[in-house]
Amino acid sequence: MPSMPHSYDTLRSAARYVRSFRDKIFVVKLGGEILEDPQMRRNVCGQLALLWGFSIPVVVVHGGGTGLDSLCQSMGLPVEKAAGRRITPPAVLDAAKMTFRRLQMDLVADLEATGIPAVGVSGVDSGLVKGRKRPPVAVDGQTVDYGMVGDITGVDPSLLRHLIAGNYVPVVAPFSVDENGQVLNTNADTVASEIAIALKVEKLFFMLKVPGLLTDVTDPSSLVPFADLAKLDAMEETGAIKSGMRPKLTAARKALNAGVNSVHLVSGVLPDAILAEVFTNEGSGTMISLCSSTEA
């Protein structure tokens, strides 16, 4: 059947981005709300498979807060957070180990089903993410003891580079380890940012249940397509950035200031949202960069 005029324009446009991003690493962070939904999880995996098939190396960092909340509630353990970050007594740390291992296994299985050779690791493996126990800190005017939570002191990306060189996709669970071998629960957004910095990646993605950064969290149409750090400052001043988004934007700021080219907040619900963000001029979510340029 003859093709319609301009029917290959989309392919030509996408090819330009494929050439631009080939062999440049992307870090993609997936949250627990997406991982706990098999359909959403498989949709994201299918998109990651296409990136990988275009020779764009991918490192996946996953959280699991939704599942951990459920397990803690079923075990009678506290579910406490401050400034969007979990308070983790020893029993909750053990629950986190169980939850993240379960989610990681399901995620790796779905990636394998798309043809991606995925390998599940954690920040503990090969000293990937080093940390120290967070001391009590002031949060919103109160002193908070986060318990067995790690602040990252360093990232050794050697294991990830080895896996990427072998054409594997690493899937990283968010733990760190201190100098005495103590495992620490570590915010997944922060882990993703620090890994992105250590690998000097092209793009860092945070997958969300909303379309991206919103000026009104109750209105999906209030999407902010492009933002720089000044825009984030202005939104924080107006109270538009709520607690759950704060760790992501803190991680985004650090990544950008450390040399990551761009950070993207993208829907994990909408079909092909990652692909639209990467391979089209319009994008699908929010691109954050140091300057206000709208170029991908």
Least confident of 89-93, 203-207, 292-296: 292-296
Instruction: Give yes or no for residue 5 having a pLDDT over 70.
Output: no
Identify the pLDDT of residue 294. Answer: 46
Domains of the chain, earliest start first = 22-73+89-121+155-174+198-205+244-288 (3.40.1160.10)
Burial of 42 (0-12, 13-18, 19+ CB in 10 A): middle
Instruction: Give yes or no for residue 224 having a pLDDT over 80.
Output: yes
Mean pLDDT of 120-129: 98
Identify the pLDDT of residue 7. Answer: 55
- C-alpha 117/C-alpha 90 separation (Å) is 34
Q: 240 and 250 in contact (C-beta within 8 Å)? A: no
Least confident of 8-17, 26-35, 227-236, 276-285: 8-17
Helix pair 246-257, 229-238: axis angle to 10 deg: 160
| Predicted confidence (pLDDT) per residue in 14-49, tens digit | 788 888 899 999 999 999 899 999 999 999 999 999
In terms of Cα–Cα distance, which of 267, 280, 274 is closest to 223?
267
Terminal Cα distance for the chain, rounded = 35
Sign, CA torsion 226/232/238/243? positive
Sign, CA torsion 192/198/199/203? positive
Tell me the pTM: 0.92
DSSP state of 220: G
In terms of Cα–Cα distance, which of 220, 218, 224 is closest to 270?
220
Instruction: Give yes or no for residue 246 having a pLDDT over 90.
Output: no
- C-alpha 198/C-alpha 214 separation (Å) is 29
Instruction: Give yes or no for residue 77 having a pLDDT over 50.
Output: yes
Query: How much of the chain, in percent, has pLDDT values that exceed 90?
Result: 77
Average pLDDT score, the chain: 92
Token pair 């997958």 is at which residue?
Answer: 207
